[in-house]
Each structure stands twice: as C-alpha cells, then as structure tokens.
Amino acid sequence: MSKTYLFAPQWQDSGSTNELYSGAVSLRNYLKSICNEAIHEIEISEHQIPAIQNNILGYTIIEKQLSDISTTLVDRQCTKILAIGGGCGIEVPIVSHLVQQYSDLQVIWFDAHGDLNSPESSPSKYFHGMPLRFIVERQQSEIGSRNNLVSPSRICLVGTRDLDPPEENFIKANRVKVVTFSPGYWDRLEAAVLKDTTAYIHIDLDVLDPKEYKNVKCPVKEGLSIDDLERSIDYIISKNEVVGMSIVENIETDISRVRKLHGIFERAIAL
C-alpha cells in the first residue's frame, strides 16, 4: 500500500494574512523531527495577494494548488495519505482521490466549524469554510478535483460547535451526523461512526479547547482536550481501516508547544 506524506501549506483559503503558512511549516518540521519518511511538498507561495472570483477569495491561486495536489496523488498512486496543511481546503482533492480508491469511504471531520458553506452562502468567501460542501455536493464554482463525491450519510462532524445558519440548514436537510462534545459524547460517537469500512480523519486543530491548544486560525471555546481527541482517533482506528489523516489550521510556531500534539502525530504515522 503506497502511503504519501503530503505537505501543503495553503493559507490563501483562510483570508489575506499568511499565519497558516508559518503554522504549517512548524507542523512539518515537527513531523520531520520524529519521522524519517520523505515528505512530498506542494509549492505554495508565502506572499500572494488573493482576489475574489466565483465567490471565493483567492480562487485562481487555490485552484492551481488543489490541482497540484490532485496530480501528485495520482502520479504517486497513493492509497494512504498523511497530510499536513495549511487550510482545510486541501481536503477537496485528497478526499476525492481516496474515495476513488475506496467506494466505502467515510469521512470523520474533527472541526469546530462545519465547513459546509457554499460559495454563495459563505459570509466571508473564505474557501476553508467550504471544503466539506464541495466534498459532498457539486457546486457551480469548479475548483480542485471533484469527480468523486462522498454521500452526506458517510460524513460525521465531531466537536463541531460554531455553525452558520446555511450550514445548519444543510445539516438538517441532508441528515449529516454531528457529534457535539457534551455529556454523552462517547455514546454518540460510537453510534455515529460507521464500522468495518474505510475512513479518512480530518483534524482541524480548532476542534481542541483553546485552554489546551490556543494557537489555531479560528479558536472556539469548549472544545475537546488533546486526550479526548487521541481517544476518539483510537476508537475510529479500532473499528475501521483508516486510510488517511490530516492535521491543519495551526498558527503555532513554537515547536515546544507543537510537541503537545505528539500523540496525534504518532497515530497518523502509524496508519
């Protein structure tokens, strides 16, 4: 099975400031310090000025980056992926590639946000608030590799607690599973996660409580602890074949603080 370590420090999907670039570099550097595997890097400029096109800020830049990711995964015939980002937008070509390999793929989306806005409904026009919508539904704005969609029934949002009204409407209309971090969390996680299938785990670090890990792009209070996240990942791995994982949306540049995520990195490396 061909496993690819992918580094895509895309920041243009999150606005006009590039702190996600430096944060992604820190994640990559920590990964390199604990793992000897080669990391394939997607070239992304640190200093581009995005413009809105097709209701997406930085559309042209992001389209090129996601196309490069898709080409890389196809050329390398990837069947397992560990991705370090950047913004959540990198998930569109990654999940599209994996669902072509595994028709039974489920996507577990650890994220404080739903990432389910369409370009038209998005109040910010930031693509990092849209990727899951592109993964489950075709949009008028073509971006990235989207030939292979995932059914909303195979999506599970975990730790989500900050939704826009259009996202809430989409979740209700499509019966997307949402596991909030509140009393009864473990029972709800067990009921929501599909068993004996393949799975991709998306980890936006803002799923964590800021009291434990605060330097993320869009922090939201009352999130998971690092231990809770690690235990959740362990549960998913115990019930499924996990074929990919991502770690994204970090702005921390102090490696000593990034080290708090060591257990998450260990689980990703072990896939």
Percent of the chain topping pLDDT 90: 91
In this structure, are strands 56-57 and 52-53 parallel, antiparallel, or unpaired? antiparallel
Say whether pTM exceeds 0.85.
Answer: yes
Q: Which residues of 214-228 are buried (b: 16+ CB within 10 A; e: fewer)?
A: ebbbbbbeebbebeb
Helix ranges, the chain (H)? 19-34, 59-75, 91-101, 131-136, 165-174, 185-192, 226-239, 255-258, 262-269
Which residue do the tokens 């992001």 mark?
62
Core vs surface per residue 6-41: b (16+ CB within 10 A) or e: bbbbbbbbbbeebbbbebbbbbbebbeeeeeeeebe
What CATH number is given to the structural domain containing 107?
Answer: 3.40.800.10
The string of pLDDT tens digits covering residues 109-154 is: 999 999 999 999 999 999 999 999 999 998 766 676 566 899 999 9
User: pLDDT at position 147, please?
Assistant: 66
Domain limits for position 241: 3-269
**What is the tally of structural domains in the chain?**
1
d(Cα 196, Cα 40) in Å, to the nearest integer? Answer: 30
Q: Where does residue 86 fall: left (phi above 0), alpha (psi -120 to 50 degrees), or beta otherwise?
A: left
Integer Cα distance of 245 and 46 in angstroms? 24
Are the beta carbons of 194 and 240 closer than 8 angstroms?
yes
Tens digits of per-residue pLDDT, 199-248? 999 999 999 999 999 999 999 999 999 999 999 999 999 999 999 999 99
The whole-number pLDDT of residue 50 equals 79
| pLDDT mean over 90-99 | 96
